Chains A and B, each alone.
Chain A
Amino acid sequence: MTEVRVEGLTKAYGPAKALDEVTLTFPDGGFFGLLGPSGSGKTTLLRAIAGFVTPDTGRIWLGDQAVERVPVEDREIGMVFQSYALFPNMTVAENVAFGLEVRRIPGPDRTRRVVEALDLVQLGGYGGRKPSELSGGQRQRVAMARAIVTRPRVLLLDEPLSALDRALRVDMQIELKRIQREVGITTIFVTHDQEEALTLSDRIGILRDGRLVREGTPRAVYDDPQDAFTARFLGEANVLTGLPEAGGLRLADGTLLPGVTTPAIALRPEALAFAVPPPDTPHRLQARLAQRIFSGATGTLVLDWQGQRLKLTASERDLLDLPAEGSPLWLHWPAAAALALRDAG
């Protein structure tokens, strides 16, 4: 199969750099999520791999072929667009067959592969319909079938689920993952939805202002974000900054957090616990309860500490014996939950 690799990829639009020296390997058969805020260059990177964007410098490898100079139509890719881009003048089967028609696959073989692809996305029997007669989720599946039926070297998904409503999106995430596992094609997908990225990807890459900020497995990046941007972008994070001293990190209210050697730490809201009497640990802060938010199974406490808002989330049943809003409250956490950050963001 195919490993995809980009090396030193740079693309500038006037003075703005959409991609800035991006080097990244997308493992063979893996599901790689590209994540970043809008304007971070993630879509440009995907379109550069597809061939719609020509990079100024850098190399793109599909397997052992360098493809920077190869036009889109010769790259043997499969792509699913945000709007699905199904051909409205063709039926579902004709849409799926289009790539096979281009490759001059003979009739019987073509039909068989179209049927297989539609079965794979659980749309067997829908071949005769027009795209306009399908629901959003069904269109998404057709787009997927059309992209994989040619057995491309790499499957590129551009925000494939963003046009669906929330409940359907969760179903389609599971579906997408299943299809990708079955066909085993190297898949790269772009999203701005971090939860989606965490759910689907074997590995993720986070981009910011055209640069690759982090890359790794979702768990590794989540558990060790290393910088404040990644910590805040992937999940939620309370970032505490202070002055590193010999004994630890000295915070603005004088608290010394022992064992910390970096100028900042991130605390996930779910890693925090609260107590009314001072807890017996040095990893603690005294804050004030500002607001309590109910949101179903979990609840959130918003706390005020030195003018900074901190968040704590916990299961609803752990949030029963709360003092009144405005009361002082201790926050504490296990030492390992303090994620070291090299900057304060």
Chain B
Amino acid sequence: MIKKLVSRIRQYRRDTILAPLLVTMEVVMEVIIPLLMANLIDYGINGNDLGYIVRIGLALVACAIISLVFGVGSGRSAARASAGFAANLRKDMYYNVQTFSFSNIDKFSTASIVTRLTTDVTSVQNAFQMFIRTAVRSPIMLIFSLAMAVRIKASLSLIFLVAIPILGGGILLISMKAHPQFRKMFKNFDRLNTVVQENLRGIRVVKAFVREEHEKEKFDEAAEAIRRDSSKAEKILAFNNPLMQFAMYSCILLISWIGARLIVGSEMTTGQLMSLLSYSMQILSSLMMLGMIFVMLTMARASGERIVEILDENTDISDGPKDLMEVKDGSIRFENVEFRYKTAGETVLENINLDIRSGQTVGILGGTGSGKSSLVQLIPRLYDVSAGRVLVGGEDVRDYNVEALRNEVSMVLQKNVLFSGTIKENLRWGNENATDEEIVHACELAQADSFIREFPDGYDTLLDQGGTNVSGGQKQRLCIARALLKSPKILILDDSTSAVDTRTDALIRQAFKDEIPGVTKIIIAQRVASVQDADQIIVLDDGKISAVGDHDTLMKTSTIYREVYESQQKGDNE
């Protein structure tokens, strides 16, 4: 895990190394200052040398300034390294998330991905920064003080040999106990995130059912769980300090006691004992710092694991081995296709065989849950088939470069999504380099131009997130225009005019016929009128093809089709 994280430091390696180096220099200065002071007292005062005192005094000030410069320098390097490291992590994660298929995303849930990208990265960043700034400082202090202690009385400093492993073991135990609590805590963060997100999206339904109180309770539960887990984790960590103090004072007591005996035997002087005691303080406080860093790392470990999970996740759908870049034409073939969503296990599509020629218009009808949307989502490879194959332009879709394939297959989804930004920006998703004329033309085809022009800001009108400030039918027409701008070889409309009034719907179909005759058009609809004049109409029933043919044939051969048709025509006969 650590290796995977560390490899993300990349261009900030220099700063990552520089920071501890500068810290080392800073520490050296800090060590020199008391030594100089000792000289000042020993030689300056005892030698009654005023000049010496002033000289050393100046040297002390110089040391302080140098220490400041190094300190600021290390701060800058550490800041650069940690901010850059975090940015790299977020970037790598997000880039990987962008390649995720939907089953990948379903596995984590959006909320969890977002938490990992934010909260977890922040926690790793903090630990990293702390680590490169203090992880060097404490060992240096430790080594320095230990060396001094050994110089004074090697035999007595053996005590530390016992104390340090005991301390280390204690810290290790504490952090091992705390780690699962932290993991649990982060999981609850995901839950919290989900509740907030869901409530924001479904606020109308929550309010309509007057369920605010219940949702609040659910949120409070998640917040309470976080409180409980962090409290538990911190409670374990709180043992850290007393443990340190216990070790520290045990050492001091032992040193004093043994030291006293040594002094009795004239093996040591009182002054030496004093110095030894002050060095032992320093040794143990450095250890204490190390312990704190360790705790920080424990906390970050849980986050680090969650980050690596995202980094390691391989997308289910990747470019085919042939990596075909060009889609020859808009023909589509389904050969014995079977499909099931990974999560649900149940077969959604079975034994699907279809042959659609380039430029044809194909209508798909079928009951709710009969697999219409699943069928068309296989064409641009939003999902992969479970068995059989789908061919576009004569080649298996799995042989194409994914982007090249999706560029030629334009799809208007059932659930329309617009992104915050202006109308024009949203339309440009279809084609970044579209000229204003092209945009207007696409909107005219989708019957969107007239209402867009009615907005005071026209094409520059700002859409809120999710497009809440346009009506459902307007949204659908914007999405159609967006799909048209791609000038694809295949255009799929997945029940995309359900909220558009019938007249506009007819106008859109007319425009398709006149303006883009060469494009293969697949239209999923509930209204027979929307598909009646298609070259082929596919009737789906419970994941299987029940009938295929044009309107007249189906009226004769398909009971389902006839029933649907008649149910919609009844109004006329009354």
Partners in one complex: no
A-contacting residues of B (Cβ < 8 Å)?
none
* A binding-site residues for B, Cβ under 8 Å: none
